[in-house]
Every structure is written in structure tokens, then in C-alpha cells.
Amino acid sequence: MKELDRILNGEESLSMDEPIFDVAQLAHVELLTPDLEGTLCFLKDLLGMQETERQAGSAYLRGYEEQYHHSLKVTAAPRAGLGHVAWRARSPQALQRRVAAIEATGLGRGWIDGDVGHGPAYRFETPEGHRMELLWDVDYFTASAGQKTPLRNRPQKRPRSGVPVRRIDHLNLLAANPGTVRDFLVDILGFRERERVVSDDDGSVVASFLSVTNLSHDIAIVPEPTDMRGRFHHVCFHYISVQHLFDVAELAKEAGIAIEHGPARHGIGGASFLYMPEPGGNRIELMGDPGYMNFDPAWRTVVWKGSEVPAVGAIWTGSPLPDSFWNYGTPPAEERPASPTAASMARA
Amino acid sequence: MKELDRILNGEESLSMDEPIFDVAQLAHVELLTPDLEGTLCFLKDLLGMQETERQAGSAYLRGYEEQYHHSLKVTAAPRAGLGHVAWRARSPQALQRRVAAIEATGLGRGWIDGDVGHGPAYRFETPEGHRMELLWDVDYFTASAGQKTPLRNRPQKRPRSGVPVRRIDHLNLLAANPGTVRDFLVDILGFRERERVVSDDDGSVVASFLSVTNLSHDIAIVPEPTDMRGRFHHVCFHYISVQHLFDVAELAKEAGIAIEHGPARHGIGGASFLYMPEPGGNRIELMGDPGYMNFDPAWRTVVWKGSEVPAVGAIWTGSPLPDSFWNYGTPPAEERPASPTAASMARA
Amino acid sequence: MKELDRILNGEESLSMDEPIFDVAQLAHVELLTPDLEGTLCFLKDLLGMQETERQAGSAYLRGYEEQYHHSLKVTAAPRAGLGHVAWRARSPQALQRRVAAIEATGLGRGWIDGDVGHGPAYRFETPEGHRMELLWDVDYFTASAGQKTPLRNRPQKRPRSGVPVRRIDHLNLLAANPGTVRDFLVDILGFRERERVVSDDDGSVVASFLSVTNLSHDIAIVPEPTDMRGRFHHVCFHYISVQHLFDVAELAKEAGIAIEHGPARHGIGGASFLYMPEPGGNRIELMGDPGYMNFDPAWRTVVWKGSEVPAVGAIWTGSPLPDSFWNYGTPPAEERPASPTAASMARA
Amino acid sequence: MKELDRILNGEESLSMDEPIFDVAQLAHVELLTPDLEGTLCFLKDLLGMQETERQAGSAYLRGYEEQYHHSLKVTAAPRAGLGHVAWRARSPQALQRRVAAIEATGLGRGWIDGDVGHGPAYRFETPEGHRMELLWDVDYFTASAGQKTPLRNRPQKRPRSGVPVRRIDHLNLLAANPGTVRDFLVDILGFRERERVVSDDDGSVVASFLSVTNLSHDIAIVPEPTDMRGRFHHVCFHYISVQHLFDVAELAKEAGIAIEHGPARHGIGGASFLYMPEPGGNRIELMGDPGYMNFDPAWRTVVWKGSEVPAVGAIWTGSPLPDSFWNYGTPPAEERPASPTAASMARA
């Protein structure tokens, strides 16, 4: 267990090379839903999200503090799951550097001309098949006359419907081998690993929480309990107060939407949260206050033993997470088509 | 007024050069106080700050979520004011690059071997004489047995005294010519200007809010109403909720400490806040929720006309700021010694 | 000043007679508005109030936790002001006893058969001409199919519009001689005086805060700065959190509605609050958390000197109340018709 | 099931007799603890309660907003559990009337001269052996010089330790036959039943929530899962915000105190809450916001089917209550002495 002690004490060697700062932020996430109208009703009426545009089976939404055209694309599909994740580079030069690095791994899938709301993007996959893209050129949201606000740093008025979220915060993906995905994000894209869960037995990576920003994580990778690939755990939107979690939980309860867990507070990341499935089946996290932020440029990864996670890491204050949290992802396992090929096609 | 329109519309040319990412964060601030014990009592009993060390007329403090030895140094002095501000570079290489850039401006003051809690630091001044330093090497805080917490990402237990702050957030300085200080921070240190206030008459810079992080600002520069130099407006510490502002305001009120303003919400930055003078006379800001954060790597500076600031920019929700907010800084003007030379010496 | 000391020390003689418990609660308030549609838009879109019925120039509204047909009646009128205030007795017997007591004072105005939402009511006036009624028989609200909630103790679902208030809390009236109104409420109706403001000079009553419930006050009487009679200061609706005050303040600000003061915390009563004029001109108070409650059946009136009120009694934490708070009531003085007779008719 | 429908629809006959208003409030609770120092450390350091006096194995405590000498008496004893509950009458006359009524039931145990902090009290037992007393004469708390506050309606300054509770709110007792205890409280003492849980099978009373105040309940009676008598479920203290629940939960967690459940929100009563065992083993509830209040003098008892309680009545928003909530009371069943006689003596 010397190796585990070494890891827990943060004694891994720190490279003296200059770090990579080429990825700036999570730009948007695409969710697939078998119930487009139900999903949109949830996002708009309960979470107060704004629909910017609708085209060809997809709707584009944003929180009221967001500057871009959208942070969430919702696409009608036979089953729930992740469409793709888009990251924005820090500069055109940074984009070129990262594309070159991705291409060298063989995980690149080539450029697209753009999509609604953004320009050229380079597509790639994680080692476990999650579809991602990297881009620089984005469209900004323009408020209509009725949405304009005298608050110059806010793109539009605060909505009067539901309990409105402010912005996208992070996403969470399932992986059979979280360490492999973590290595790809760290080595090729320049993410920093803020927290990690390791096996009590051998110190191998069980889960990883990484960011390119000052947030505790922009992305998390957690263990896949089935033999499916590329599955989605949740996407998180941000409020500013635990009060908002209680407020939206009431609306959800009275709308007949199940609350999976919360309001409670995570140990890892430290944020207050609420988990709910949207009508299409994808898990949505809502964050009250953001927990801690990290500013230390030499941040030493916080390492947890797997045995500590249920009682402290996953839940710092509140009740234990239910089994569904550890087992459920989208597409759901029970709806899994017979052949992996079909599954892969369904996601396409 | 074409120029003003152009500025308000964010049509200033955006350089295609790669941006500088060499400064990582606000590391610590040194405050001078004529009432060391009073200041420490305020910081420890009301704000729950932790004293790490005391040496030679200075005490070193931190919030309970902070990883480093200290974020605040408090030094006994004949009058209140700013001692110095320390920024941490992103890497040793980044530190060297910025030192070279500062030296070229003639504002460099040379290296020191270090101070309690950190290693070598390069000293410099802003164009208006605020003393700053840039460093890489910092000491980390180590919790005593009684302070240790099972929450692995938190350096110590949450204190049980007062309403404890979590971490330093930003500082605010007075300048006769805020634009000159802004240019220095942007061009030489690589800060991004997030928001700016300009004269209704000619578009000249009245105030500037800048950050190197995803926070809305790590530093603000506001107009100096006297002919003094290098004065201090406030330093801000972070909570997570407006409730904490009301809680600490009650403790302050019952301790006989005046509340200058708040709880209320700023337009610029969007944070909820409370202003109080500490017993030594320096203004302290406490922040509830953090307002908006910026992740856009091509963030277009939000520009306000000076005439908009009192009712919207400074106060988004709440009552107008009192005159003292616009006029009071430390050292206080009324205690100003007869000659500028003496004043400058007193600060040395 | 012995008399003042005696009052401040609560040494007034306490009657050993059994107290009166005949009035149970504030049942509803009628506001007059010159802008019925504007007022209703404010109440419904911003405060999430529910319109139960509209008849003959009046709309009837309630908060989503309220059991009765309405707690607020809004009536179109040439100018803003108070229509009437209705109190509910504790029992039919209690109603009869209080009617007899009122009749003995000469302030009774006789029975009406009822109004929309309630049965027979006995009308009377305070010594300063505020129109009131006392009743027992009320109609209960019945939720429509879409409003029904599984939460059996809540009459309807929480609304999804604006930041919805829960229930009426209290009202505040202006009086040339607050002591006379206070005596009427205490001696004839059985209110308990929870807090009182007295003149620094002679101990005479400047303001009085009274309740029949465990709330800190169901009604307040404050000084009338003009020679008008029967004027209205504000009616207050209840949330549960200071966060809700900040949330609704943002909506108001972006809707172009001025915030008169707050969020802040009162000394008297101890509640957190926000004051806003509704579009018709009447002042509305919104309460976050409720401050203290009183359960002591021998509660000794808390007595303040007038000189203490501005800095502690009116504002415990927050900034000083603006002059308008002390001077503005409805109908507004500036719109006052030439003769008192006309004014009195306008209110009729 | 006609009977059940009738009960659920609130169609029970309402007496036209005048109601009893003779009990004013919950005055204090006595807890027994096998770990007096541990219990006091919890109450004082975590909950910021104030110790007024200590005498003969008992400590007397109060929240900082409470006017009386104490609201909680803690007494060293071989095992945890309820000592007694004290209610304050509305007047000396009301006290005499209720004593006469109790005496007629045979449950009276006679007068005591008084105890630390109050005068003569009449002792009695509920039909299931919970020890109670009724009193009029109470001592008021007097602040020391250092505790005095300029806020005249607050008995002392807000404490600076832990997350300080404001006042006692309610208590909860276990009973083999909750309906019998309910009938005693309603018929003899004049409590109003605000909410009731009935058997899905036969409509018999499973649990009852009653108050003499505007609170949703001053006392609750829930089912006893063992054959023990007179057991205690919890006592509740009041904050004003869900934020306080999260704050105190962190302190508890880091002090090694288990959180049984919460923060979450009840359906019955509607309050936000947190449950923790104190070191002596008694369950303590902390309440954030208070949920709904009832002002209706003809309040119709809200009736729940037992099957609805786990998912809606007990938990409105949050995760399901753990089994311990339904099974654990003090004295704990596992420590139960061999003979009922011994148990009864231990409580004496």
C-alpha cells in the first residue's frame, strides 16, 4: 500500500514543463431525448431556460446569464443520452495546437463547417467513445427589445418563469476505465485534475474531476456499471443559493417530476445540489452555491479512497445517495438494443 | 460622441496576438493598521479568520478554505492603508516573463528573498505608487490535529467563531488616473478588463474592473478624490450566501461596528455585498453569492457611462451607496500629513 | 423624565383582568388604485398572486398558501389608498362581543350582508377614520384541477410565475395621533401592543405595533406627516427567505419598478424586508424571514425612544430608510384635492 | 371506506361551543442525558445555546431570542429520554381552569412550589405517561453587561459561537395510541389538531400534530414501535433559513456528530429541517424556515392517509427518511432494562 499512501499524500511528481492553457471552457452540451416536448417543457417552465432557436429536430437553449447563442442543444432521438460536448479554445492559435495534439492520438474525427450558433469545430472522441468537439468561433446571443436589461453585463432580463438557472456549470460522463479518459483530458487537452477517487486496493483511478477553469470541475468521469460505452451521467446548471434548490424542488414535486436526491451538499467539489431526471430520462443536476473554487496554479490533486466516497466525498451534508445515482445513466441499460452496433448508430 | 458610442458598443479592435496567461491569482494583501489588536479581533472573532503566525508587528491570517499560509498580512503602522499586494504567477517561467516585462517599464523595485509564508518575490509599483509583488513559491498551510477535517479538499475544519469567511476575493484601489493603472495591468501583467466606467463627456476611463481568473474582478481601480497617491479602497472576502451577510451584519451591529452599506447587490460584478470599516479604519467588503463569472476567452469589456453607475452599476438591488463610499479611502484624507513627501514616507 | 424611564423599563401596571382573545387574524385588505391593470400585473406577474375573481371594478387575490377566497381586494378608484381592512373573529360569539364593544364607542357603522368571498361583516372606523370590518363567515378557496397539489396542507400548487408570495402578513396605517388608534385597538378589539415608539420629550406615543397573533405585528400605526386622515402606509406579504427579496428585487428592477428600500432588516419586529410602490402608488412591503415571534402571554411592550428608531428600530442591518418612507402615504399628499370634504368623498 | 373519505374531506362535525384558549405556549422541555458534558458541549458550542444556570445535576439553557430563564433543562440520568414538558397558561385564571379539568381526568399529579426559573406548577401525565406541567409564573432572563444589545426586543446579543438557534419550537413524543393522547390534549388542554395521519384501513389515528399557537405544531404524537411507554422522539429549535441548516450540518459533520437526515423539507408542517442525535442520544431537530403558519380560527384538520406520509407528508422535498426515524426514540429500546417497572423507575 505504499503506492496508495504516496498518491493520497499528493507525492506524485509534478512536471516542471509549462502547463497547457489552450482550452477555456465548456461551451455547450447536446442531449438526446425521446420526448422533445417534455424535455423542453422541463427546461423552460421549471428551469426558466430560454429557447434561442429551433431547427430540424433540435432546440437551442441558454441560461439568462449566458452570452453565447446556446449552452444546451436538445435533439429528438430514439433514446436519451449524450449527443456531444463542445469546448471552446482560448484563442485561434490554441485551437490549432490542440487539434494537432488530438490528431496525433488517432481520436480525431475531422472538421465540420459549423452548426447553428457556432463556426468551424473539430470533432473527436474520448478513448471511450464520448463525442466531443473543440471550437473557437461562437455566435453571441442578442436580446430582443423586451428582453433588454439596463444591467449591461447581463445579456437579458432575468426570466419570470420557474426558478431560472443562470448558466451551464459542468457535465459528468460514465467510463469503463476513467483513468484512460482522465489521461486523455490531461495530457492532450490540458485539463487539470482537481480531485480523484482511487481504489482502496491498488490505487487505480475510479473517478476523476477535472477543470480548465477556476471551478472545482468542468467535467467528471465516473465508473460505468455496465458494458455500454459513451454513456452520460448528468449535466449541471447553476443557481446561486440553496434556497433556489428548495424552490425548484417544490415546483418539480408538484409537476410530478421525481427528485432523485437532494438538496444536499457534495464533499467532492463542495457544492450544494439537487438531482432530477428530465422527462426524456437524462439526469440533470442543479447547483445552489458553487462550493470551493481553485486558484492555485500548482493545485495538488485531492485524492480520496473509494471507501470514503459514499459518506464524505459524495455527500458531505445530507443523506446517502440512492443506488440509482451509482447505476443509472443514459441511454438507460434496460433499454439497451441487442447489438453494440445498433447502440452506436442510435447515438449517431 | 461617436467615440463614446463605439466604446459602449464594444467595437474596440481586438488584438489577434495570443493573450498573456502569466498571472494566476491574487495571493495576499497586506493591510496597515493603527490598531493591530482591534483589527485582529474584528478579523478573528467576527469573520472567523485563522491566525497562522505572528512576527515582528505583523499577523498572518487566512480563511478556512484557503490552502496557503496566509491571504492577509496585518501590520501595525501609524495609519491605515495598503502595505502591498502579492500576485502569484502561473509557473516559474511565467514569473520570469512578467518580471522582464515589468523591468522594461521602469516600475520594478527588485527581488526580495521572501517573507513569512513565501519565497522570492519581485517587487514593483503601479504607475500610481501602489506597492505590489509577484511570486511563485508559496508555503502551504498545515492543519493542527484539532483542525484536521475528513473533507480532504478543505485545509481545515470550518471555524465555530463568528460568521467565518472562506477566502480572499479581490481588492480595490484608488487612482488619480485609473486608465493608466488599467493599462499597466493589462499590457504588462496580462489582466483582462471585464468592466469599465467611462466619462459621459469624453469616454475616458473612470474606473476599471479586471481579472486573471474567472471571477468578475480580482482588482478594481476607482477614482481618487484627493491628491494623495497609492490609497486603498477595500479588500473583499467571500461567503456563499446573502444570509451570511445578514448574519455577520448582526454581529457587527451588536459589537458597535458601523455598517457602511449593504447587504445589497452590485450591478458591476453582480455580487451581493456588505461594507464595513475594520477598527483600524480600512474598508472591508464581504461578498455573499459571487455574482456572475466570466469564462469567455474573448470577453468584450462591459462599458458603463459614469452617469449610470450610481443607480445601476454600483447598486443593482438595494439603496444608493453613501457619499463615504465615493470619498473615503485609507490612509484617510483628514489625517494626511502636511507634505506629500511625509505621506510617501509614512507608507514606506 | 421619570415617566419616560418608567415606560422604557416596562413598569406600566399590568391588568389582572383576563385578556380579550376575540380577534383571530387579519383577513383581508382592500387597496384602491388608479391603475387597476398595472396593479394587477405587479401582483400577479411579479409577486405570483392568484386572482380568484373579478367583479364590478374589483379583483380578488390571494397568496398560494392562503386558505380563503382572498386576502387582497383591489378596486379601481380615482386615487390610491386604503379601501378597508377586515379582521376575522375567533368565533361567532367573539364576533358578537366585539361588535357590542365597538358599538359602545360610537365608531360602529353597521352590518353589511357580505361581499364577494365572505358573509356578514360589521363595519366600523378607527378614531382616525380608517375603514375596517369584523367578520366570522368566510369562503374558502377551491383549487381547479390544474392547481391541485398532493401536499394536503397547501390549497394549491406553488405558482411558476414571478417570485410568489405565500400570504398576507400585516398592514401599516398613518395616524395623526397613533396613541388614540392604539388605545382603540387594545381596549376595544383586544390587540396586544408588542412594540411602541415614544417621544423622547414626553413619552407620548409616536408609533405602535400590535398583534392578535404570534406575529410581531398584524398592524402598525405610524405618524401622519400631513393633515390628511385615514391614510395608508403599506401592506406586507410574506416569503420565507432573504434570497426571495433579492430575487424579486431583480425582477422589479428590470421591470422598471423602483425599489424604495431594502433588502434590509428591521429592528422593530426583526424581519427582513423590501419596500416597493406598486404601479397604482401604494407601498408594498415584502418580508423575507419573519423576525421574532412572540409567544409570551404577558408580553411586556418593548418601548423605543423616537431618537433610537432611525438607526436601530427601523433599520437593524442595512442602510438608513429614505425620507419617502417617513413622508409618503396614499392617497399621496401632492395629489390632495382642495377641500378635506372632497378627499373624504374620494375615499368613499 | 366511507368513514375514511369523510375524515379526509374534513367533514367531521365542528362544535359550535366556544373554543378553549387557556394554554399559551410550550415553555420548556427537560431532557435526560447519560452524558451531561457531551450534551452541553453540543448545545452550547454547536447550537450556540446560552447556559443560564447549573444546579444539582441540571443545566438550564435558552436560545438568544428567548425571554425566559430557560427553554431547555438538561439533567444527568442513567439513560436518555424526556424529563418533562412545561406549558405556560395564558393567564392565572386560565391556569386554574385547566388544572380543574386535568384533575377531573385523574391524570393530575399535584402542585409543586416551583423549580429553578419558574414558580408554582401543576404536574400531570398524558394517558401514556409523558410527564408534563402547566404554569403561569416564570422568571425572565436578564442579560449581563456584556450581553446587552441596543436591539430592545432581543434579550441579549446574538452569540458568536456555532450556528446559534433562536428559540425552542416544538416537541414530538411517541405513543402506543396517539389518538388517546391527542384527545387528551384537545379536550382537556384546548390544543387544536392541525394535521393528522390516519390508517388507510380504518381511519384510526396514527399520528397527530397540534398547536395552541400559530405554529403548524407545538407538539406531535407519533407511533411507538415498541411496548415502552412515555418515550421521546425529538425537540426542535428554530433558525430562520435553510442556509443555517447547511452551516450547522458542516460543523456537526466535522465534530463527528452523525446527521440522521436533512437538510430537507417536511410535507406535514412544511418546515425545512435537519435531524441529529445529541451526544446523550436524544434526537434534536433544527428548523430552517418555519413552513406554513395557521391563523384560521376554524382550521379544519388536514388529514393524511398513512400510505402518503413517507413520500409526501414526511418528506416534501429531499430524500426518504431513514428507518431510524420511524424506530428510534429515547430511552433507546436496545438499552431497555429487563422489567417495565425498572424502566419506569429510571425515568422517575
Give the tens place of pLDDT for each residue, C239-255.
999 999 999 999 999 99
A contact residues 226-285, partner B, Cβ 8 Å cutoff: 240-242, 267-270
Instruction: Assign residue D103 a region (left: φ > 0; alpha: ψ between -120 and 50; beta: otherwise).
Output: alpha
Q: Which chains touch A (3 or more CB pairs under 8 A)?
A: B, C, D
User: D346 in contact with B at a CB cutoff of 8 Å?
Assistant: no
Contact C318 B250 (CB under 8 A): no
Residue of chain D minimizing CA distance to B47: D160
Q: Per residue in C121-151, is it b (16+ CB within 10 Å) or e — as a string? A: bbbbbbbbbbbbbbbbebeebeeeeeeebeb
Is there a contact between A198 and A178 (Cβ–Cβ < 8 Å)? no
Q: What is the pLDDT of residue D18?
A: 84
D277 forms beta bridges with D283
Q: Which residues contact C318 (CB under 8 A, 6 or more apart)?
A: B249, B259, B262, B263, B264, B319, C261, C262, C263, C264, C265
Phi, psi dihedral angles at D130 (to 5 degrees) = -75, 130
User: How many CB pairs below 8 Å do chains B and C form together?
Assistant: 60
When the pLDDT of each residue in chain C is averaged and rounded to a whole number, the result is 93
N-terminal to C-terminal alpha carbon distance within chain D: 43
Residue of chain D minimizing CA distance to A243: D242
Three-state SS for chain A is CHHHHHHHCCCCCCCCCCCCCCEEEEEEEEEEECCHHHHHHHHHHHCCCEEEEEECCEEEEECCCCCECCCEEEEECCCCEEEEEEEEECCHHHHHHHHHHHHHHCCEEEEECCECCECCEEEEECCCCCEEEEECCECECCCCHHHCCCCCCCCCCCCCECCCCCEEEEEEEEECCHHHHHHHHHHHCCCEEEEEEECCCCCCEEEEEEECCCCCCCEEEEECCCCCCCCEEEEEEECCCHHHHHHHHHHHHHCCCCCCEEEEECCCCCCEEEEEECCCCCEEEEECCCCCCCCCCCCCCEEEEHHHHHHHHCCCECCCCCHHHHHCCECCHHHCCCCHHHHHHHHC
Name the E strands within C43-105. Answer: 50-55, 58-62, 72-76, 81-89
Q: What is the pLDDT of residue B342?
A: 31
The least confident of B333-342, C84-93, D135-144 is: B333-342
Q: Kindly state the average pLDDT of the residues B33-39.
A: 98
Residue of chain C minimizing CA distance to B247: C317
Is there a contact between D134 and D125 (Cβ–Cβ < 8 Å)? no
Angle at A333 between CA A331 and CA A337, to 5 degrees: 80
Is there a contact between C253 and C274 (Cβ–Cβ < 8 Å)? no
Q: Which residues of chain D have pLDDT under 50?
A: 1, 13-15, 336-348
Is there a contact between B114 and B27 (Cβ–Cβ < 8 Å)? no
B contact residues 164-193, partner A, Cβ 8 Å cutoff: 166-167
Contact B160 D161 (CB under 8 A): yes
Per-residue model confidence as pLDDT tens digits over C188-231 = 999 999 999 999 999 999 999 999 999 999 999 999 999 999 99
Q: What are the pLDDT tens digits along chain A (348 aa)?
A: 466 666 666 555 444 578 899 999 999 999 999 999 999 999 999 999 999 999 999 999 999 999 999 999 999 999 999 999 999 999 999 999 999 999 999 999 999 999 999 999 999 999 999 999 999 999 999 999 999 999 999 999 999 999 999 999 999 999 999 999 999 999 999 999 999 999 999 999 999 999 999 999 999 999 999 999 999 999 999 999 999 999 999 999 999 999 999 999 999 999 999 999 999 999 999 999 999 999 999 999 999 999 999 999 999 999 899 999 999 999 999 754 444 433 332 333
Per-residue model confidence as pLDDT tens digits over B163-195 = 999 999 999 999 999 999 999 999 999 999 999
Q: What is the pLDDT of residue D337?
A: 43
Q: What is the pLDDT of residue B41?
A: 97
B-chain residues within 8 Å CB-CB of A68? Answer: 296
DSSP state of C161: B
D-chain residues within 8 Å CB-CB of A250? Answer: 265, 316-317
Give the number of C-alpha atoms closer than 13 A to the C-alpha of residue A45, restricted to the C-beta side. Answer: 16
pTM value surpassing 0.90: yes
Nearest by CB to D214, from C93, C213, C242: name it: C213
Q: What is the pLDDT of residue C334?
A: 73
C contact residues 36-75, partner D, Cβ 8 Å cutoff: 65, 67-68
Residue B4 pLDDT exceeds 80: no
Share above pLDDT 90 across residues of chain C, in percent, rounded to a whole number: 89
Q: What is the pLDDT of residue A347?
A: 33
Instruction: Give C9's pLDDT tier (boundaries 50, 70, 90).
Output: low
What distance in Å separates the CA atoms of residue B253 and residue B248, rounded to the nearest whole number? Answer: 9
Instruction: Give C2's pLDDT tier (boundaries 50, 70, 90).
Output: low
Q: Which amino acid is at C92?
A: P
For residue D122, the surrounding DSSP H or E stretch is strand D121-125
Q: What is the pLDDT of residue C6?
A: 65
Three-state SS for C285-344 is EEECCCCCCCCCCCCCCEEEEHHHHHHHHCCCECCCCCHHHHHCCECCHHHCCCCHHHHH
D133 forms beta bridges with D86, D123
D-chain residues within 8 Å CB-CB of C170? Answer: none
Residue of chain C minimizing CA distance to D95: C18
Q: How far is B76 from chain A (nearest CA, A)?
A: 29
Residue D141 CB neighbours (<10 A) = 20
Residue C131 pLDDT exceeds 80: yes
C-chain residues within 8 Å CB-CB of B249? Answer: 265, 317-318
Instruction: Identify the residue whose cell numbers are 479581490.
Output: B170
Instruction: Give C3's pLDDT tier (boundaries 50, 70, 90).
Output: low
Residue of chain D minimizing CA distance to C8: D152
B-chain residues within 8 Å CB-CB of D250? Answer: 158
Residue B23 pLDDT exceeds 80: yes
Residue B265 pLDDT exceeds 70: yes
Q: How far is D163 from chain A (nearest CA, A)?
A: 15
ipTM of predicted complex: 0.92
C-chain residues within 8 Å CB-CB of B311? Answer: none
Select the residue from C47, C158, C244 to test the A interface by mutation, using most A Cβ atoms within 10 A.
C158
Residue of chain C minimizing CA distance to B258: C317
Q: What is the pLDDT of residue C345?
A: 29
Nine-digit cell at A209? 474531476
Nearest by CB to C149, from A150, A158, A254: name it: A254
